[in-house]
Amino acid sequence: MDEFFGPGGVLERRLEDYEFRPSQIRMAEAVHEALENQNHVIIEAGTGTGKTMAYLLPALLYGRRLLVSTGTKTLQDQIFYKDIPLLESAIGRPIRAAYLKGRNNYICRQKLNAQFAEGLFTPKELPAFREIVTWADRTETGDRAELGNIGDDLELWSRIDARRDKCIGSKCQDFDRCFLTLMRQKAMESDIVVVNHHLFFADLAIRKDDVAAILPDYTAVIFDEAHELEDIATEYFGFHVSNYRLHEFVHDARKLAEGSETTLDGEIETISRASDRFFNSFAMLREGKHPLGPLEGIDGLIGALQDARRSLKRQHDFAGEWERMAGRAGEIADELEVFRAGTLENFVSWIERRGRGIFLEACPIDVSGMLRERLFEHLPSCVLTSATLTVGESFDYIRRRIGFEQGKELQLHTEFNIRSQTLLYLPKAMPDYRHPTYLSRAAEEIGAILRASQGRAFVLFTSYQQMEKAFELLSNDLPFPCLVQGRGGGKGRLLEEFKATPNAVLFATSSFWQGVDVKGEALSAVIIDKLPFQVPTDPLVAARSNHIERDGGNAFSEYQVPNAILRLKQGFGRLIRSKSDRGILAILDNRLTTKPYGRIFLASMPDYEVTDDIEDLVEFMNRARSQTS
């Protein structure tokens, strides 16, 4: 590392506009040691540490292919389009790097041609499809992000994307020109491959499936935003069957049978009827999650899928489409068998109603053993980093949850001046969050805080219902533009509107608690309604709590409190994103000061200055404005 950081080193000579700070050097050295000695390391690097540059430099020195896996596509973009080019300028030579996303981000040439030939579009879809066809002829990546708003039509895009369940792999006539093929080839020629956690775990969960393989072989992985690993691993090691998935299978099977000389109409219709009977038995369920009771009609649905699989396998075509359809029938039947048996060890199952969707879910209660066996014992070196990995200065919680048993640890605090840049407001005399007066009292406090910050705030809620009620109470009386999640487009569009609107206030829920970066005065306050405890009746949360209690532990102190602390740290982390940022943090939950576990929350936070006086907020923001004027 002296070649880069030592006196007269490459970085000192070439990177005049970027100064590596002591914490970055410590982190870079820890990552370098883990990669070179084939060890694991877990690093909490506070906001502003500059962790991406700190791990990219030793990644470059590694000399063998490694993955950098992120929690969000936003961070993927930053690493690939900003940080890696900056590092290239520092070392004076190109870095062989590739950028891979999930399969459904890429267009499928075969499906595009099929849609063109079929020509069935709504009046709204037709202009967009024509633009996509023109773009597909000139794009080098096939990545829908290049399309901007045109790629936001999920219904149209889902008919032409390269998702796995419709891919026929090397038997496709466009295989050599396939964007997935080209992206994977580039990745195989690269030293650093930038992916996201969803793609990484999708690949890890089905690593032996040649059709599904996107990621090239690697000997090390750096996980940024590693606090998300348990949740995402839980999703990809689970089983998921829905009425939408069955409907899509029936639709695709009918289209494949059209124009052929097969006699499969009977089998397809049998699946359709069996699917309708099965999912209609849940029609009276209210929205939400429910225990999985007797599954009426599941035998008939599994039998229909197995019969169709045998019939589909007897069909032959050069492209292998029948074979792929048979595989899909078998996969759905196998996953339904998991729910019928109901005896899968270490799994909890439930059924969920979301609008017209009926979803059967089975997820692992404890992923630590899976991650230990498939990841940490399998790979020579794993680096885990995030701004939120410790609870009360300890890594014990995250280590236990993800099976990270062997490996060093390093904690690097933020280099921002937290006490001068931030004021934490804990209002006095707040009622219990369950009391009927809580919402109206919270609305009063939110209004007062927003007047002190002159808008420019995220107001974050632990439930969508609470968000809607607070928005209705406040939006008409506030002298600031108010935006609310769920209205006016998706998360990306809403965030851009917030940044572009002076003094805006955004009412939002959990998706804005992390992975959102707003620098400068546009975000001057983050207000959180309640401590972000998980819903205790959620089937997965309840199963994990019961598992801990059966082993003699205390689920509240060992699981629920640490989990909520990390979530709260993520929410607070939205505010201070640079040395010039100033702002207010506020939490309207009296448990932070009235419950014994509140001390653990506060001990896990940076060294904020705390007040319960609203006038202090006004004075603090006036001082902040005078310093920037």
Cα 56 from Cα 52, distance rounded (Å)? 6
Q: What is the mean pLDDT of residues 438-456?
A: 95
pLDDT at 71 > cutoff 70: yes
Whole-model pTM over 0.75: yes
Selected residue with higher pLDDT from 19 and 195: 195
Q: Output the pLDDT for position 6.
A: 59
Q: Output the pLDDT for position 5.
A: 60
CA distances 446 to 141, 348, 471, Å, are 45, 39, 11
Interacting residues of 262 by C-beta distance below 8 A, sequence separation 6+: 315
How would residue 16 be classed by pLDDT, with cut points 50, 70 and 90? very low
Q: Output the pLDDT for position 207.
A: 66
**Domains 2-96+190-236+367-412 and 418-628 belong to one CATH topology:** yes
Q: What is the mean pLDDT of residues 193-212?
A: 79
Structure tokens at 132: 């996509």
Interacting residues of 573 by C-beta distance below 8 A, sequence separation 6+: 47, 387, 388, 514
Q: How many residues does the chain have?
A: 629
Q: Are strands 457-460 and 505-508 parallel, antiparallel or unpaired?
A: parallel
Which of the given ranges, 14-18, 178-182, 505-509, has the highest pLDDT on average?
Answer: 505-509
Amino acid at 597: Y
Which of 555-559's residues contact partners 24+ apart within 8 Å by CB, and which partners? Answer: 557/597, 558/397
Q: Which of 259-273, 282-296, 399-413, 549-563 has the lowest mean pLDDT?
A: 259-273
Which of the given ranges, 141-155, 303-317, 558-572, has the highest pLDDT on average?
Answer: 558-572
pLDDT at 15 > cutoff 50: no
For the domain made up of 2-96+190-236+367-412, the CATH class stated in words is alpha beta
| Mean pLDDT across the chain | 88
Note the pLDDT tens digit of each residue in 377-404.
Answer: 999 999 999 999 999 999 999 999 999 9
Backbone φ and ψ for 143, nearest 5 degrees, come out as -85, 125
Q: What is the mean pLDDT of residues 363-383?
A: 96
Q: Output the pLDDT for position 208.
A: 53
Q: Output the pLDDT for position 14.
A: 44
CA-based diameter of the chain, in Å?
79
Q: Output the pLDDT for position 441.
A: 95
Q: Fold for 240-364, please state it.
A: Fumarase C; Chain B, domain 1 (1.10.275)
pLDDT at 7 > cutoff 60: no
Asked whether 183 and 100 are in contact (CB, 8 A), the reply is: yes
Half-sphere exposure of 401 (CA within 13 A, CB side): 25
Note the pLDDT tens digit of each residue in 127-162.
Answer: 888 888 899 889 988 888 888 776 666 677 888 888
Alpha helices in 153-242 (DSSP H): 154-158, 179-188, 197-205, 229-236
Q: Give helix 243-257 / helix 321-341 axis angle, nearest 10°.
A: 150
Q: Which of 112-126, 188-202, 552-566, 605-619 has the lowest mean pLDDT?
A: 112-126
Selected residue with higher pLDDT from 313 and 155: 313
Burial label, 389 (beta-carbon count in 10 A; 0-12, 13-18, 19+): buried
Q: Which CATH number fits domain 418-628: 3.40.50.300, 3.20.20.120, 3.40.50.1820, 1.10.357.10?
A: 3.40.50.300
CA distances 116 to 120, 323, 424, Å, are 8, 24, 57
pLDDT at 514 > cutoff 80: no
Q: What is the mean pLDDT of residues 512-539?
A: 88
How would residue 375 be classed by pLDDT, with cut points 50, 70 and 90? very high
Cα 452 from Cα 164, distance rounded (Å)? 51
- Where exactly are the structural domains of the chain? 2-96+190-236+367-412, 103-180, 240-364, 418-628
Note the pLDDT tens digit of each residue in 99-132.
Answer: 998 888 888 888 888 788 777 778 878 888 888 8
Q: Output the pLDDT for position 434.
A: 93
Q: Are strands 357-364 and 239-242 parallel, antiparallel or unpaired?
A: antiparallel
Q: Which of 342-356, 377-391, 511-525 has the lowest mean pLDDT?
A: 511-525
Q: What is the mean pLDDT of residues 594-604?
A: 94
